[in-house]
Chain A
Amino acid sequence: MDEFDVLTQLRQDTPAMSARARAQGRLRLLGEIEGRRRESRWLPARRTMLAAAGVVILTVAILGYQVVGSPDGGSTAEASTVLQAAAAVAGVPAAVPRAEQFTYVEVVHVTSGGRQRVQEWRSVDGSRPGLIRSSGFLGSTSGAIAPYDPAAGLRTAPYAVLAKLPTDPAALARVLGEDPYVQDSVRYNNVSRDVGIWSLVRELVETAPPAQKAALFQAASTIKGITYVPTATDAAGRTGEAVGLDDPRLGNVQFLFDRDTHAFLGERILNHGSTTSIQFNDAIQQTGVADTAGSVPRR
Chain B
Amino acid sequence: MTAAAHGWMDEPVTAVSDGAVIEASLTHAERFAEVYDRHAEAIHRYLARRAGTTVADDLSSETFLVAFRLRRRYDVTRADARPWLYGIATNLLRRHRRTESAGYRALARTGVDPLAGLDHAEEVVLRVTAEVEGRAVAAALARLTAKERDVLLLFTWTGLSYEQIAEGLDIPVGTVRSRLNRARERLRRVLDETVTKSGER
Contacts and interface: CB of A to CB of B under 8 A. Distances in A.
A175 B191 CA distance: 58
Interface in A234-289: none
A36 B8 contact: no
A33 B68 contact: yes
Contacts of B64: 25, 29
B145 to A, nearest CB: 16
Interface string A30-47: 101100110001010000
A3 B187 contact: yes
A25 B6 CA distance: 32
B30 interface: yes
A22 B16 CA distance: 22
A74 interface: no
A282 B133 CA distance: 55
Contacts, number: 152
A19 to B, nearest CB: 11
Interface stretch (B33-41, B73-81, B165-173): B33-41
Contacts of A29: 32-33, 36, 61, 64-65, 68
Contact of B48 (A1, A14, A41, A151): A14
Contacts of B37: 26, 58-60, 184, 188-189
B20 to A, nearest CB: 8
A36 B152 contact: no
A160 B138 CA distance: 61
A178 interface: yes
B-side interface size class: 35 or more
A44 B91 CA distance: 34
Nearest to B152: A7
Contacts of B184: 3-4
Given A6-B137, A25-B40, A13 B45 contact: no
Contact of B24 (A25, A151, A189): A151
Nearest to B153: A7
Interface string B12-56: 010110000000100111111110111111101100110001001
A16 B56 CA distance: 11
A95 interface: no
Contacts of A59: 37, 40-41
B68 A15 contact: no
Contact of B38 (A9, A30, A60): A60
Q: Is the interface of B mostly helix, strand, loop or mixed?
A: helix
Most buried by B among A3, A6, A151: A3
B193 interface: no
A14 B24 contact: no
B188 interface: yes
A60 B35 CA distance: 11
B156 interface: yes
B33 A164 contact: no
B10 to A, nearest CB: 11
A30 B36 CA distance: 10
Contacts of A170: none
B188 A21 contact: no
Contact of A25 (B36, B127, B191): B36
B138 A10 contact: yes
Nearest to B103: A11
Given A11-B115, A33-B30, A16 B41 contact: yes
A8 interface: yes
Contacts of B138: 10
B169 to A, nearest CB: 18
A99 interface: no
Nearest to B192: A3
Interface string A56-74: 0011100000000000000
Given A43-B30, A59-B40, 12 more contacts: A4-B156, A7-B137, A11-B49, A18-B53, A28-B65, A60-B37, A60-B42, A146-B28, A149-B24, A151-B24, A152-B30, A164-B2
Interface of B: 1-3, 5-8, 13, 15-16, 24, 27-34, 36-42, 44-45, 48-49, 53, 56-57, 60-61, 64-65, 68-69, 113, 115, 119-120, 127, 129, 131, 133-134, 136-138, 141, 152, 155-157, 184, 187-188, 191
21 contacts: A6-B137, A10-B134, A11-B127, A17-B45, A18-B57, A21-B44, A25-B60, A25-B64, A26-B33, A59-B37, A59-B41, A60-B42, A150-B6, A150-B7, A151-B16, A152-B30, A161-B1, A178-B8, A184-B34, A184-B37, A187-B15
